[in-house]
Each structure stands twice: as C-alpha cells, then as structure tokens.
Structure 1
Amino acid sequence: MRPDASDTRSPPDRIARIDCFPVRPRWLFVRVESAQGAVGWGEATLEGHVESVCGAIDAARDRLIGHDPDRIEDAWQLLYRLGFYRGGPVLMSAIAGIDQALWDMKARKLGVPVYQLLGGRVRDRIAVYAWIGGDRPHDVAAAAAARKVQGFTAVKMNGVEETGWLESTAHIDGVVERLGLVRDTGIDVGLDFHGRVHKPMARAILGAIEPLRPLFAEEVLLGEHPAAIEQIARHTSVPIAMGERLYSRWDFRPFFESAAIDIAQPDLSHAGGISECRRIAAMAEAYDVAFAPHCPIGPLALAACLHVAAATPNFVIQEMSLGIHYNGPAEDLTTLMTNPEMFAVTGGTVAVPEAPGLGVEIDEAAVREMARDPHRWRNPAWRGPDGGLREW
C-alpha cells in the first residue's frame, strides 16, 4: 500500500547514545538517550567487574544505536541472542543496565511509573530489609536495634566469615550465637552464607540454626552444586534462598524443577534487568517459589526492584543497601539522587514509587564528576590458617 500523504505521525525515535558511569562505592550507572532527547537511567553493577561490563556495553552500542527505544523486548533479544555466546554475569549485567534504562525512558515519556507498564500494582507497600553484620560480623545485636529505630522489621547478616571444608564445633556455635543475639532483639533475620560453606558443613550449620527459625538461609552452597542444594533442602525446614549468581530463567529452571529452593533471588542488575527478572518471577510462581530480588547495590537497581515487586504476586521482601557495610557516609544509597525520600522506610516497608519512570532523579552532574575517577573495587582475597584460599 502507498503511504497516506495525510499521515502526519512523526517517525519513531531512535537510540542515539549509551553511556556508562562507574561511580563509588562499586556501582555502574547506564544512561541511554534518544535522538529526540528522551533519557533513561539504569544500573549494570557487577561488583568487582566494572571494566568488563563497560566493555560489553560498548559492544552493545553496535547493536542498539539507531534502534527504536520503545521496542524494549526486541532490544533485549538482540543483545541476548545475536552475540552467539549467551548468558553469564558480564553480558547479562550489561543487558540489565540497558534494559532498566529503556523501561525508565519509555515510562517517563508516557508519564507513568514503570510498574504501570508491567500490569499495574498488586500491593500498596513493599516489605524491605536492611543489612547488619558485614564480612566480619561482630556487634550484630546493637546493629539490629539501630535498624529497628530506622523503621526496619527485618534484617540480613552474613552467617559466617571465611569457612573451610570442615570446621570445628566452635565455628558452628558462633553462627548460632550471633543469630540468637539478633533474634533476641525482636527483629526477623535472614542469614547469608555467601557461598562460603561447602557440602561437608552445610547440613550441620542448617541443623544448628533451625531451632532459631531464621527467615531464610541464602547461598548456603554455590549454585554450581545443584544436586547438593537439592539434597540439603530435603533435610531442613529453613527456607533455602539463592539466585544472585544465576543470570537467566534457564539458570533458575533446574532449581525450580528439583524443588531445591524456596525463595528466588535474582539481581535485577545481574540477571537481564526488569524484562528477564519478570520472567524469572513468573516461572518461580508456577513452582510455588517466592520472589525476593537481590540488591545490595545502588538506587537505580533498587528502584527497578521496587517496580517489579509492586507488580509481582509472589514477591515477599526486598533487600536494600541503606547503610550497608560496603558504603561510606559520603557514598550511601541516596548520595547520587535528589529525591531520597522515595526510599523512606516505615513499619518495615517502603511506598510503591509513583513518579514517572523508575522514579529516581539522578544528580547527573555529580555522577559525571565522580565517574571522572572510576573506582576499581575488588572483593577481599581471603586465606585460611594454612594459607589456602577461602570463598569470600
């Protein structure tokens, strides 16, 4: 058919720029701008690997410059499928940051919050938890009490420091003691084992903490051991949570099919962004698995999580990094945004964001200035008493 000469519709907008900004303490922000001047922000933070993700974003420019920014799913498929090699933390983090930015841009152009484009909200407020006890947990009771004053009703803490393949009874007793001190404050607590525990210790630790009824046990074992995770899940009543090192619905599928986990924790900055984590949540729901996104990082990642949480029936609770041990007083969750009130905590919850897009107003000048001196954050290298490497 010949085009109608009376058709005055403007041609579709096109992606003109994709920029990334490594900002402290260990984040990577992504800014996408269209030819018509629309802007969206996302977060592609992959802790300790910022240089690699920036390289993947540079490659993504070859695919997406000139692409219609409203075609978010098509952009996702382009980046995921047309590079021949698929998945993994670097590629999926790059996709995640761009995906979040495209959702932010589209929702801002329409003047609605992102969750409205995901089917609308299914809840009025979003349950959250904060961190206590970092890599060297010690005075956790006082930290838990301080979080209660801030309005939190749940916290998460590292369960162990460096842990060998086989440890003493005293090592296990220390886990139980710290958990008990926090429970005595009247606050709920999840334990993050960070993949530091190996199979010979996993059942013993879970059995020891079971009477104290933690909210969940996270990454008791690394995801590269699905059969062992399935095995320990059969021997404990503690809900098993994991997912920060799984990057797609295909990575999660064997854990759902084997009933190995109770709570799926994809990170929206590692696992393909809003688009892919919505699919992971829907797949989890089909297996009666809860959804609790991982997010110990920056404000754009957290905002993306809140929008998915608002529209996801099987969502249970959201991690947030306010005052986390990786941050400093000059580099906390809200440092690079001008509307920190959107993350205000009341009664253990935050409000569903109602501003257009992701709702985060980025201080762009501050971001650009900080990114002039890019961080090179690396996690510690731990060794045991014998000099052998330990999981961090």
Structure 2
Amino acid sequence: MKITQVETLHADGGYRTCSYIKISTDEGLVGWAEFYDGFSGATLAPLVLAFGKLAIGMDPRQVGRLSESLLATTRVAAGGISHQAVAAIENACLDIAAKALGVPVYQLFGGPFRDRVPVYWTHCGSYRVRHAALYEKLGYEPVRTLDDFTRLGREAVAQGFMGVKTNPVFFDKETPYMFNGGFRIAPGFLDRSISDAHLQAIVDQLAALREGIGPHTGLMLDVSFSQRPEGYLRLARRLEPLNLYWLELDIRDPEALAMIRSRTRTPIASLEGLHGLHEYRPYLAGRSVDTAIIDPMWNGVWQSVRIATLADAFETHIAPHNPVGELGNLMSLHFCAAVPNVRIMELRPDEAPWTRGFLTHTPVLEAGHMLVPDRPGWGADVNEEALRAHPVRAA
C-alpha cells in the first residue's frame, strides 16, 4: 500500500477554522486527522502539504518509520509547527493502518485500557468572554459577572462533568475580558507579571466557580505562558485554599517548573507546548509536574503514546491537550484508551453546533465520560459535503 495524495480541507467552526488532512492510498483506503491551523498565528496547512509531498509513495501502515523519517528532515529546525505538520500526517496514517486491519486505532498499541474516559469542561466561561458576540449569537448564556461563573459551574455539574477549567477573566473595565496567556500580541503581553489586584480577581473568580461546582468536582485554572516563576508561585500559593485539581502553566525551564511544584500544595500541570520525547525528558526526569499534558494532535498519537510511556516510567499522570473539535476528540479518546496513566481528558462542550455534523459518527458523552468507539480507525470519517456547506469565512 502506498500514499497517493495528501489534501487539506477547511470549514467554518465559529470562532475558529476547522482543519482536516485527508490521505488517499492506491488501495482505496482513506485516512483522516484533524489539525489546528493558525493556533500560533502561523498557517500550518502549507507545511502539512509540503511534508505530504515527501510522504507520497510511502506505506502509511508503517506509521513509526514514516513519522520518524519525516521528523528527521526537520532536525536542523526541530519542533514547533514542523512537528505539528508531521503529526497531522502521522495521525491520518494511523487511521489508515487501523482500517487496513479492521480494528480501532487503540488496538495498534495493545489497548484498550478503558472503554470510557472522564472529561472536564475546558475554557469554562472564559471563551464566552473572549468570543462573546459569537456565543451570544449561538444562543449561549453570556458571562458578564462572577455570578455567571457560579451558574456555569452548576450547569457543568448538572451535565455530569468531572471537572471544569477556566482562564482568568477580569471585570475591571467596561466589559469583561480574558487575560493574555503570554503568546498573543497585545499591550503589555511581554511583561509576564501580575498585579495584586488581578491575583485577587482570579481568586474571586475561582471561588465563584467552586461555589457552583461544589467541593467534589475538579477545579482547574489555565494561565499558559503568562508569568515568570515568581508570579506563578504567588498565584499557586494564593489558590491553595481552593483545593485545585491542578494549576496549569507553561514555562521553558524544567528547573524553574520543578521549583514551583516543590514550593506549593497546589498540583501543577504543564508541558502541552512540548514536541517529542527529547523535549519532555528533562521535565519528567526533573519531577517538574504532577500531570504531564501531551497534545496528540501536535505530537501525533504514535509519538504521544511513546511520551506517555516515558511519563509512566516516572510515575507521572498524563492528560491530553485537546483544543479542537469532534475528530480531535476521537483522536484523544484513542490516545487515552491506549495508555495506562491517563488522568482526565479535555473537552470543549460549547463548540459551534453545526461542527458535530462534520463527522459520520460523533463521540458519545455519558455521565461525565466520553465513550471509546470500537469502529475501525478513529471510528468516524469526515463528511466532506458538510464541510462544503460551511465554507471558511473571511477573517
């Protein structure tokens, strides 16, 4: 079997563009994967197609060899969006390899370890602030006060979610606004420091969410790359009374991350921005996190399983970074089914409703868990007609 064509397809996803890779073969099998185009501000699709040209003629069933071969061409500029482009190809090849055998992707790794995965509501409330006009147009309740976070917390519990994660939202201006995670150009974003007033505002926001979810549902906060070690540590210590499931933060310094973890009772989750075993190794060896976050879309599920195995050797839980749509959910599900040390899975429940029609089969959510499908490949194909019905809108 050989790869004959690599294509990218896109559709309107509301506040974002939904992007997919389609790999065709000379035996008629087609593989699909979702990728996040433009997350870093740079367009990924041209790189996917460029590496796709190198993959033409390769056997998609030899996933590891194909992935490592393409990554080897990036050694002089490894990681980043080059790694993400190769990951998209790797993931579509996993779909083909599993379909060729008539099995789900997790069977390629000896799974499943589980047939359902606990999920948490990510960006709870914060994205309704960041994309307020869109969410109100879609009919979602707006977030304008701290009371709205309490209301959303109750809604999350009613829907059965195992946890909720939010980002800092501030109410000290005319309209609420979401904090800058340290990687999007805006006034002051290079400072990476936080005021005492904003520290207290974060505590108040999480207290409002805790009031809504109660004492037994997981509470998480994601502050991305927004601070230096001093700011992260001040925040972690201020949040200790709220008994967080984890504080999620990112910093390109394994020693600094280990220092933060050692000086607070708040559990630390991190590493979603890393690519490949070599980048993860010093963080895991340095015992820098309680939960290692791995993005199966940016690393590739085959590579992600290897990283999770390394984390398991250091007795460390993992959780997938899952920032996109329904096919991304399926890819994360198979990753979670394939490894023993998964803790919980990220999920965006308030995506644009029409995106559920982009797949032939959508994942099933039941009592706070997403069910792992047993159909071949990822368990669904992309509905190309549905994509065409929702063309990408002009920026």
For the aligned pair, the TM-score class normalised by the smaller chain equals 0.7 to 0.9
Contact kept? 1:165, 1:200, Cα under 8 Å: no
Contact kept? 2:33, 2:328, Cα under 8 Å: yes
2:204 to 153, 170, 177: 177
1:308 to 335, 346, 360: 335
2:296 aligned counterpart, secondary structure: coil
Structure 1 range deviating more: 230-239 or 128-137: 128-137
> Alpha carbons of 1:147 and 1:74: their partners in 2 closer, same or farther (altered >3 Å)?
same
Contact kept? 2:327, 2:359, Cα under 8 Å: no
State how far apart, in whole Å, the 1-side matches of 2:288 and 2:294 are: 15
Confirm or deny that 1:290 pairs with 2:317: yes
Give the fraction of aligned pairs with identical amino acids, expressed as a percent: 29
> Alpha carbons of 1:233 and 1:46: their partners in 2 closer, same or farther (altered >3 Å)?
farther
Q: Matched residue pairs, number?
A: 353
State how far apart, in whole Å, the 2-side matches of 1:295 and 1:71 are: 25
> Alpha carbons of 1:46 and 1:233: their partners in 2 closer, same or farther (altered >3 Å)?
farther
Note the residue ranges of structure 2 that are not aligned, 5 or more in a row: 130-142, 170-178, 181-188
Partner of 2:283: 255
Confirm or deny that 1:133 pairs with 2:130: no
Partner of 1:390: none
Confirm or deny that 1:267 pairs with 2:287: no
Partner of 1:200: 230
TM-score under structure 1 normalisation? 0.84
TM-score under structure 2 normalisation? 0.83
> Alpha carbons of 1:167 and 1:109: their partners in 2 closer, same or farther (altered >3 Å)?
closer
**How far apart are residue 134 of structure 1 and its match?**
1.4
Contact kept? 2:220, 2:248, Cα under 8 Å: yes
2:195 to 168, 174, 180: 168
Partner of 2:260: 232
Partner of 1:387: none
Runs of 4 or more consecutive aligned structure 1 residues displaced over 3 Å after TM superposition: 46-52, 135-138, 162-168, 327-331, 368-371, 373-376
**How far apart are residue 170 of structure 1 and its match?**
2.5
Confirm or deny that 1:241 pairs with 2:266: no
1 or 2, which has the higher helix percentage? 2
Amino acid at match of 1:301: G
Partner of 1:29: 20
State how far apart, in whole Å, the 2-side matches of 1:141 and 1:177 are: 11
Partner of 1:76: 67
1:292 aligned counterpart, secondary structure: strand
Q: Deviations over 1:354-384 (max 9, x none)?
A: 111101232122224545x4765xxxxxxxx
State how far apart, in whole Å, the 2-side matches of 1:216 and 1:284 are: 17
Contact kept? 2:159, 2:367, Cα under 8 Å: no
**How far apart are residue 157 of structure 1 and its match?**
0.7
1:338 to 348, 360, 364: 360
Higher-Rg structure is 1
Structure 1 range deviating more: 178-187 or 80-89: 80-89
1:295 aligned counterpart, secondary structure: coil
Contact kept? 1:22, 1:375, Cα under 8 Å: no
**How far apart are residue 130 of structure 1 and its match?**
1.1
Partner of 1:10: none
Q: Aligned Cα RMSD in Å?
A: 2.1
Contact kept? 2:323, 2:346, Cα under 8 Å: yes
